[in-house]
Homo-oligomer: A and B are copies of this chain.
């Protein structure tokens, strides 16, 4: 039989998984400090960290939130449409919708005009949850941008939109 062992996490926390430090002191980041792409990556890591911890109670991740928002705003979307809008493969959209459906937030309604397709819709629970979750996401977004004035946020959104054309 296997010998009893003491779980490590009862003695001392594993040092992995602390908060991300964008600029560790005394480290030379070289060209990374001048790249727009790396600045975006640094920001993205911190934003993602805060999003996940803010919405852990609902088990809502960024792609799930985006999907709920898009489905709620656009009636009878097909799975293929959703995939294109989110920029993911159709097979990924199937998995995403499967998860939201098993959470009782989304349903697949048969299309009236195309017997291959479904129209996606929020359930009543989905609509209620989306309201709460949207409030939490907006609070999160305001928190991570808390340092910025409304004008600065406008400028930031505008500059980001012009990248990669």
Residues of chain A whose beta carbon lies under 8 Å from any beta carbon of chain B: 15-18, 20-22, 24, 27-32, 35-47, 49-51, 62, 66, 69-70, 72-74, 80, 83-85, 87, 89-91, 134, 137-138, 140-141, 144-148, 152-153, 155-157, 159-165
Counting chain B CB atoms within 10 Å of each CB, the highest count among A21, A24, A51 belongs to: A24
| B137-A164 in contact (CB<8A) | no
Q: Which residues of B contact A16 (CB under 8 A)?
A: 83, 89-91
| A144-B47 in contact (CB<8A) | no
Complex: A150 Cα to B102 Cα, angstroms: 49
Complex: A55 Cα to B16 Cα, angstroms: 30
| B46-A163 in contact (CB<8A) | yes
| B164-A144 in contact (CB<8A) | yes
